Chain A
Amino acid sequence: MAVTDLTATSAPRSGAPGVLRRTFRAPRARVGVAVLALVVLAAVLGPVLSRWDPFTSDVTAFGRPPTALHWFGTDSSGRDLYVRTLVGLRTSLAVGLVAGPLSTLIAAVVGAVGGYLGGRVDRVVVWGIDLALVLPSFYLLVLLAPTAGRAGWFAVALAIALLGWMVMARLVRAQARSLRRRDFVTAARFLGVPTGAVLRRHVLPHLASLLVVDATLGVAATVLTEATLGWVGLGLGPPAVSLGTLLAAGSASAVTRPWLFWFPAGLLVVTVLATSLVGDALRDALDPTTGTAGE
């Protein structure tokens, strides 16, 4: 390393503005954010733009393909698919936005506590994570789904979050463990900084990037999971609408009335894709191992 000029300044790698700038340097992040903004906008404002209501039938149009009147067509009961899809998107996004960050939070607490404290606490944590990993969470989710589905979208989000934190908890734990061994954490302990302050000041900020990325990707994963549950027929019960319930209804007629399947499916793929692009670009921007090619 060359001796730094005393007057030279440069942005610290870890600062938040730097991260955003680095994130948006990647074209895929720009595309992702733009698409995601459109998707959210559509979910919030889209239904307002239409004169139709998601639950009432247009008795003049049963199972019609897209027309100027019904932009996405209608289902077999004559309900407008455009409004239903966007209202469904709202539900799916809500589930994603609750479950993604929530599962990250669980992972962060379990992982950081186990990894940083070590010892007996850590062994219990590891055993718990291993146990939770033995059963594919989707299988347990299927068992929980009917109960949660009856209770509403928040319960579904809760169920998904409760069964989706394990892999991340392992990563957080490993990170916390390696942070614990880092010299600057030891230095803080030797200076007499209390454990709580060490965790808050030195450990959590270093985990933050990992957690932000996981929460973002968690939103994408949750939206997918909810849709899959709905498609299987075990998601939200009627009258609630989500991308999952729409796909469940539409997949049976994917050949005969393709619009019933492809509009929600397309929107699902676009939403998930945009979210993962943003998450991935964030990860690259936050990961100290990328973008540092030295001598």
Chain B
Amino acid sequence: MLRFLVRRAAGYGVLATVATALGYVLASLTLHPAARYAGRTPPVPPSVVHAELAALGVDPGVPVPARLWHWLTELVTHGSLGLSVRGVPVTAEIAARAGTSLRLLLLGSLLGALLGVAVGTWGASRQYRWPDRVTTVGSFVLLATPPFVLAVVLMTLAVRLDSAAGRTLVPFTGEYTPGLAGGWPAQLGDRAAHLLLPTLCLALGTAATWSRYQRAAMLDVLAADHVRTARSMGHTRRSALWRHGVRVALIPMSTFFAYSFGLILTGAAITELAFSWHGMGEYLVRSVVDDDVNAAAGTVLFTAVLVLLAGVLADVLHAALDPRVRT
């Protein structure tokens, strides 16, 4: 079991390396760092441009494989992801932003998954009756609503709430209120309040997807023979469902978690941008706008690592839920 996980993680590592390399190549091909210097007044002499780009390791004169090799060796030997076009080490920038992104990601996906599983189970247990209908329609509407629209809806509601209350109950711009007076409890409360809407935004979208899959998995299980066995033992319909149904229905969900994680990451990036958070989503978009190859490649690496961690977590969850894969 443990050996399996280690092997699996190693396999993931290889995938991540290749994927990151591909990401670097893609960034090198699509981004044009030299364009930053074009059209400046006074014009930047080509020699200066060349020197600056060479210092960053993104000189278009050097073939991409050579640049990739340089980038990878720097990464392995010094743990360095290079400098961004603004001269800041990419690792430092990622370190500063990672917490912001992870906080949202962790809370949002966890809340969303729990909500989705609960709603999906509830809907399946009342198939074709009103709870099922309402949750189905709700999830379809949420699935059709991109996070940035949902964010505006939530913000509008918050503004209404605030104006009704006469004061700011739900602050939603940025991660905290700049220059807030008060000790750490006030700071913490302020941060928590700022977390509310973005977390909700990400969680609702995630929950909509999850509830559909959980509903389907649950319906499969409801028809399963072993749930009938549980009822023949003396479980009521409801207790057979919760004691014997949900656990089995969660098994395919662990695999689904691995696949849906990319979607969650995307949703999180958009949510960050919608709420003006300085997270990794913003960093990625800014790196593309800035034609910043190193920053873009660093973001891709960070993301790949997250996806891999999610994959390992999904494997562990799968093994924890299903004894059949443990032996």
Contacts and interface: CB of A to CB of B under 8 A. Distances in A.
* A–B contact via C-beta, under 8 angstroms: yes
A57 interface: no
15 contacts: A131-B22, A133-B259, A133-B307, A135-B262, A138-B262, A138-B265, A138-B266, A140-B26, A142-B288, A146-B30, A247-B149, A254-B156, A268-B146, A272-B144, A276-B144
Nearest to B26: A143
Contact of B265 (A136, A261, A273): A136
A134 interface: yes
B55 interface: no
Interface string A69-86: 000000000000000000
Interface string B18-46: 11001100110011000000000000000
Nearest to A274: B144
B21 to A, nearest CB: 11
Contact of B262 (A137, A145, A231): A137
B284 A135 contact: no
Interface in A217-260: 220, 224, 227-228, 231-234, 247, 251, 254-255
B19 A143 contact: no
A139 B145 contact: no
A167 interface: yes
Contacts of B156: 254-255
Contacts of B19: 131, 134-135
A144 B259 contact: no
B197 interface: no
Interface string A119-141: 00000000000110111111110
Contact of B288 (A137, A143, A220, A280): A143
Interface in A96-112: none
A254 B156 CA distance: 9
Interface stretch (B56-64, B103-111, B298-306): B298-306
Q: Which of A131, A136, A228, A255 has the most CB of B within 10 A?
A: A136
B152 interface: yes
Contact of A134 (B31, B140, B289, B308): B308
B317 to A, nearest CB: 18
A175 interface: no
Interface in B251-295: 259, 261-263, 265-266, 269-270, 273, 284-285, 288-289
Interface string B89-128: 0000000000000000000000000000000000000000
Contact of A136 (B140, B266, B273): B266
Contact of B307 (A134, A228, A261, A276): A134
Contact of A273 (B23, B141, B266): B141
Contact of A261 (B12, B16, B152): B152
A133 B288 contact: no
B266 A232 contact: no
Nearest to A147: B30
A277 interface: yes
Given A136-B265, A136-B307, A143-B26, A247 B148 contact: yes
A268 B152 CA distance: 14
Given A143-B30, A228-B146, A269-B141, 13 more contacts: A134-B15, A138-B269, A140-B23, A143-B31, A146-B288, A167-B259, A234-B285, A251-B148, A261-B152, A269-B144, A270-B144, A272-B143, A277-B140
A265 interface: yes
Contacts of A220: 144
B148 A228 contact: yes
Given A130-B15, A135-B23, A273 B285 contact: no
Contacts of A146: 30, 288
A143 B259 contact: no
A118 B187 CA distance: 58
Interface in A23-79: none
Contacts of A247: 148-149
Cβ-closest 3 pairs across A and B: A136-B262, A273-B144, A272-B144
Contacts of B148: 228, 231, 247, 251
Given A134-B15, A143-B26, A146-B288, A269 B308 contact: no
A251 B152 contact: yes
B296 interface: yes
Contacts of A139: 23, 265-266, 269, 284, 299-300, 303
B272 to A, nearest CB: 11
Nearest to A234: B288
A273 B143 CA distance: 8
Given A136-B307, A251-B148, A143 B265 contact: no
